[in-house]
A and B are shown apart, each in its own frame.
Chain A
Amino acid sequence: MKTSTAYHCAAAFCLSILSVNQASAHWLYVSNEKDDTISIIDSETNEVINTLDVGERPRGVTISHDFTHLYICASDSDTVQVMRIADNRIVFELPSGEDPEQFALHPDNKHLYIANEDDAIATVVNIETRQVVAQIDVGVEPEGMAVSHDGRYAIVTSETSNMAHWIDTERQEIVANTLVDQRPRDAEFTLDDSELWVSSEIGGTVSIIDTESKEIKHTLNFEIPGISKDRIQPVGMELTTDGKLAFIALGPSNHVAVVDRSTLEVIEYVLVGRRVWHMVLTPEEDKLYTTNGVSGDVTVVDVASLKAEKTIKVGRYPWGVAVLPKEHIPQ
């Protein structure tokens, strides 16, 4: 591995920090789509402390609920790689179906729902047995994936069919479809699962869908002075657990919209890097990390002041980002 030396140095450095200031920093795992690597950022120094070689065209990344493994959609390798966080080794690969782009982990920590973009299917994999449990036909170009916090529904958005498909996780079948605006990307449930938020990249909107009726109950629109409406393309979303704020990455407009969820008004547009794609909140929800695909960097946004604080250079075309809380960082 080309980065092994760097890794050992970085690890030694981290250990010394940990011993002084016990685990004050989280780690952020950023997938670099065009470099076939994962960058690890330390949230204390906001610097890249390690770069790992992974499969081809890594996109979606997520961490297991017990914080021991990182799952990586290696799209062009047609596999989901499972990396052990303790030693950064790829310990096995999951059968994912072709061209996996994004996935979501069921609360049971066992079932992974994977969008297979090229094949118009969603694959459900049991991580323990490493077997495909089900393959479900969905619309053209499945993209966004979400599982409700109560585990009842898995959502797939299909970009060309413009739908959110509701999969009943008991039966592994579609039970409803909600038509949204053009090119739906990300899907997120609110903490109480009463609402599903779906961003539409080309439609330029976010649909807030009532879980009970599966109907759109509100549509968010965005407007940034001096930026053409065509460039405002909502992609990734993060909702705070206190129910107060929502962050919407607006792609090539290079801004993140901050929505007050009590009024559903945009209260701020934060300028970040170019073509902002996905985001993650730290466990305290005091900082937001955004991946900026075109500029090849990650922006740190302070949640209290809603100001961009720092830009961190990573690999080419950073895509996904996941956070490892400090108490789970390997010693």
Chain B
Amino acid sequence: MKVEHSTNIGRKEPAGAIAQRMGSWSLGQWIAGAAVLLLGSTNVLAQGALHVNILYVEQRIERPPVLSNLISWPEDAGLQGASLAIDDNNTTGKFLGQNYALESIVLEPGHLENEALEQIRQTLGAGPRLVVLNLPVELLKQVAALDEAQDDLLFNAQAPENTLRNADCSANLLHTVPSRGMLSDALAQFFTYRRWREVFLIEGNRDGDRAMATSVRRSLQKFGLPIVEDKMWIEDADMRRNASREVPVFTQARKYDVVLVADEDRDFSEFILYNTWLPRPVAGSAGLTPVGWSAVIEQWGAAQLQSRFGKLAMRDMTSRDYANWAAIRTIGEAVTRTESDDTQVLRDYILSSDFELAGFKGAPLSFRGWNGQLRQSIQLVHAHAVVASAPVEGFLHPVTELDTLGTDQAETLCEAFDF
């Protein structure tokens, strides 16, 4: 098993930038700050230093091969988002006498699950910790259930499973990554708004595709949109050569308004576009895609986050980077407001109605008290533009419109949270 274990992870960064950052901690400022009297609750100055260590845990996964040569996933997706949030927290923290450090455990693909679990168990044993997890669902559930994790505050930044927000929820586990249900509800709202009522559903052959299709069926039912065709994808089709022959035949039906493709690895979905029997839009894994984050988002001040991220990582920011960024910024915001690094104090504050975080997605981000899911808008995008943002205008909710996406309080099967 190859394990990368480091403290205060290094990044590719020009020497000047590091010097500048160190310069920003200059003593002069602290002294200047200390010269002003009357420290109050809102007038904040560097006081007793608070060192906040955050643990980043990732289990790398081997992605199956896909047909298109252009589809790839950055190796450091997640870790770079976490690094940026650490930087953001530190820039804020230096005025408050707080500093943040990231410790990372990155487990390479292809080793046994129990080895990974053991490695994580040992790290979590050392007292209460703040942890951001990038793990597949089964390993994630085992980590959250560890005795050593019960005093920790864990953030799920990768696993989209609806069950984690329902029957499999855990009181020490919050979720900054949107659930599949939030993503599929966003699509269903947009279909309703555009009056694309009759849906042709194509389900891929992998586990994620099955889970996505299940979530989609539930969302379409919730918003009253009929599925007129529900088909499994042809497993051995070579779409690069034959898309123009295969797809029209496969999508032959008398009537549908939109084709929805469940293909989470984006293996074949890109080849459905423009090849459908009827000339109809494609949505889901290709075409119009629901995302937690994308490089095309620039509204709500997002351009600034995008450019900060671009400078740090030399690539575009992905949904997983965003989920990691949001988790660590949540910790930073809670530490700033409570002036504490106690996991229980932070958890209470984060789940309270006082907590809100500006997340460059319009409405402030907050957490659902009944299952620990981060409330957030979902963007519907294509390669170069945002098409719409959900909750789509007109979908109302008595508490916040953001709760029209995903599992709502009345329907949740999660019982681990006192709410």
Which A residues are within 8 Å of any B CB, using their own CB?
Answer: 99, 117-118, 120, 137, 139-141, 158-163, 165, 168, 171, 173-180, 182-183, 201-204, 207, 209, 213-216, 228-231, 252
Residues of B within 8 Å of A177, CB to CB, are: 33, 43-45, 95-96
- Tell me how far the C-beta of B100 lies from the nearest C-beta in chain A, rounded to whole angstroms: 13
B41-A215 in contact (CB<8A): yes
Q: Is the CB of B36 within 8 A of A175?
A: yes
Residues of A within 8 A of B337 (CB): 179
Contacts of B356 in A (CB 8 A): 182, 202-203
Name A136's closest neighbour in chain B (CB-CB). Answer: B29
Q: Are A165 and B357 in contact (CB under 8 A)?
A: no
Q: Are B301 and A159 in contact (CB under 8 A)?
A: yes
A171-B32, A230-B364 given; A182·B401 CB < 8 A:
no
Residues from chain B with Cβ under 8 Å of A173 in the complex = 28-29, 32
Please name all residues of chain B whose beta carbon is closer than 8 Å to the beta carbon of A201 when the two chains form the complex.
Answer: 358
B311 contacts across to A, CB distance below 8 A: 118
Interface assignment of B400: CB less than 8 Å from any CB of chain A:
yes
A-B contact pairs, 13 of them (CB 8 A): A118-B307, A118-B311, A137-B24, A168-B32, A174-B95, A177-B96, A201-B358, A203-B364, A213-B38, A214-B43, A228-B400, A230-B362, A231-B363
> In the complex, what residue of chain B is closest to A173 when comparing beta carbons?
B32
Is the CB–CB distance between B28 and A140 below 8 Å? no
Complex formed: what's the CA distance from A252 to B33 in Å?
A: 37
Structural contact, B45 and A176, CB atoms closer than 8 A: yes
On whether the beta carbons of A176 and B42 are closer than 8 Å, the reply is: no
Q: In the complex where A137-B24, A137-B29, A175-B36 touch, is A216 in contact with B92 (Cβ < 8 A)?
A: no
Q: Which of A174, A180, A214 sits near B32, CB closer than 8 Å?
A: A174
The CA of A209 and the CA of B29, in the complex, are separated in Å by 22
Closest 8 pairs (CB-CB, A-B): A230-B363, A161-B92, A214-B43, A202-B358, A183-B358, A137-B24, A182-B358, A173-B32
Q: How far is the CA of A91 from the CA of B384 in the complex (A)?
A: 37
B88 is an interface residue with CB less than 8 A from chain A: yes
Which residues of B lie under 8 Å from residue A140 when comparing CB positions? 88, 91-92, 308
Q: Which of B18-75 contact A (CB under 8 A)?
A: 23-24, 28-29, 32-33, 35-36, 38, 40-45
- Expressed in whole angstroms, the minimum distance between the Cβ of B20 and any Cβ of chain A is 9
CA distance A222 to B253 in the complex (A): 52
* B304: Cβ under 8 A from any A Cβ: yes
Bound CA span A298–B206, Å: 53
Partner of A230, one of B44, B307, B401: B401
Distance, CA A176 to CA B45, complexed state (A): 6
- With a 10 A CB-CB cut-off, give which of B36, B42, B307 has the most chain A CB atoms: B42
Q: How far is it, in angstroms, between the C-alpha of A168 and the C-alpha of B88 when the chains are bound?
A: 24
- Given A120-B91, A174-B95, A182-B364, A213–B40 Cβ distance below 8 Å? yes
Q: Which residue of A lies closest to B401 (CB)?
A: A228
Question: Is residue B244 contacting chain A, with contact meaning CB distance below 8 A?
Answer: no
B336 within 8 A of A: yes
Nearest B residue (CB) for A75: B303
Q: Find chain A residues with CB under 8 A from B96 CB.
A: 177
Q: How far is the CB of A206 from chain B (nearest CB, A)?
A: 14
Residue of A with least CB distance to B307 = A118
Q: Residue of A at shortest CB range from B397? A: A228
Residues of A within 8 A of B28 (CB): 173
- Return A148 CB to nearest CB of chain B, in Å: 16
Given contacts A137-B24, A140-B91, A159-B301, is CB(A174)–CB(B358) below 8 Å? no
Q: Are A139 and B304 in contact (CB-based, < 8 A)?
A: no
A13 to B91, CA, bound (A): 52
Q: Which of B293-341 contact A (CB under 8 A)?
A: 301, 304, 307-308, 311, 329, 333, 336-337
Interface string of B178-194 (1 = CB under 8 A from A): 00000000000000000
A180 & B42 in contact (Cβ 8 Å cutoff): yes
**CA distance in complex: A141, B84 (Å):** 13
Known A137-B24, A183-B358, A214-B40; contact A174-B29, beta-carbon cutoff 8 A: yes
A140–B84 Cα gap in the complex (Å)? 11
Whether the Cβ atoms of A176 and B43 lie closer than 8 Å is yes
Apart from A162-B358, A163-B95, A202-B358, what 19 extra A-B contacts exist at CB < 8 Å? A118-B308, A139-B91, A141-B301, A159-B358, A162-B92, A163-B92, A173-B32, A178-B42, A179-B336, A179-B337, A182-B356, A183-B301, A183-B358, A202-B363, A203-B358, A213-B40, A215-B42, A230-B400, A231-B363
